[in-house]
Amino acid sequence: MKTRGSVRWPTHTGLVESTFVEADYLVLGSGLAGLYFALQASEHGRVVVISKRGLSDANTQHAQGGVAAVLGTGDTPEKHIEDTLRVGDGLCKPEIVDMCVRQGPEHVLRLANKLGVDFDREPDGHFKLGREGGHSTRRVVHVHDMTGAAIQKALLERVQERGDRITLMPDCMAVDLLTAAKYGGPNAVFGAYVYDSKTGEVGTVLARAVVVATGGAGKVYLYTSNPDVATGDGVAMAYRVGARIANMEFFQFHPTGIYKLGILITEGVRGEGGVLINNEGERFMARYAPTVKDLASRDVISRAMYLEMRDGRGINGQRYMYLDVRPETVNKYAALDGRRRPDGSPYLVTAEEILGKLPDIIDFCRTYLGIDP
Ligand SMILES: Cc1cc2nc3c(=O)[nH]c(=O)nc-3n(C[C@H](O)[C@H](O)[C@H](O)COP(=O)(O)OP(=O)(O)OC[C@H]3O[C@@H](n4cnc5c(N)ncnc54)[C@H](O)[C@@H]3O)c2cc1C
Looking at residue 323, which CATH number applies to its domain? 3.90.700.10
**Do residues 50 and 172 share a domain?**
yes
**Do residues 87 and 120 share a domain?**
yes
CA 58–ligand 1 middle distance (angstroms): 5
Alpha carbons 21 and 1: distance in angstroms, whole number: 8
Alpha carbons 1 and 194: distance in angstroms, whole number: 9
Task: Among 53, 57, 59, say which to mutate for ligand 1: greatest number of ligand atoms within 8 Å of CB.
Answer: 59
Domain span including residue 120: 65-145
**Per-residue pLDDT tens digits for 34-71:** 999 999 999 999 999 999 999 999 999 999 889 999 99
The catalytic residue positions are 298
Task: Among 39, 55, 229, say which to mutate for ligand 1: greatest number of ligand atoms within 8 Å of CB.
Answer: 229
In-domain check, residue 249: no
**Per-residue pLDDT tens digits for 131-158:** 888 899 999 999 998 999 999 999 999 9
Tell me what the mean pLDDT of segment 271-277 comes to. Answer: 93
CB 212 within 8 A of CB 52: no
**Do residues 161 and 116 share a domain?**
no
In-domain check, residue 109: yes
Q: Write down which residue in 206, 240, 274 finishes a domain.
A: 240
Interior/surface letters 114-143, b for 16+ CB within 10 angstroms, e for the rest: ebebebbeeeeeebbbbbbbbbeebbbbbb
Neighbouring C-beta atoms of residue 33, cutoff 10 Å:
19
Ligand 1 atom at minimum distance from 36 CA: 25
Q: Write down which residue in 125, 145, 165 finishes a domain.
A: 145
**Per-residue pLDDT tens digits for 207-263:** 999 999 999 999 999 888 899 999 999 999 999 999 999 999 998 888 998 888 878
In-domain check, residue 115: yes
Question: Is 142 close to ligand 1, i.e. is its CB under 6 Å away?
Answer: no
Question: Is 67 close to ligand 1, i.e. is its CB under 6 Å away?
Answer: yes
Looking at residue 20, which CATH number applies to its domain? 3.50.50.60
**Per-residue pLDDT tens digits for 106-131:** 999 999 999 999 999 999 999 999 98
Question: Is 58 close to ligand 1, i.e. is its CB under 6 Å away?
Answer: yes
Kindly give the residue spans of alpha helices, DSSP state H, lying in 243-368: 268-271, 285-288, 298-310, 327-337, 351-357, 359-364
Sign of CA dihedral 114, 60, 2, 38: positive
- Count of domains for the chain: 3
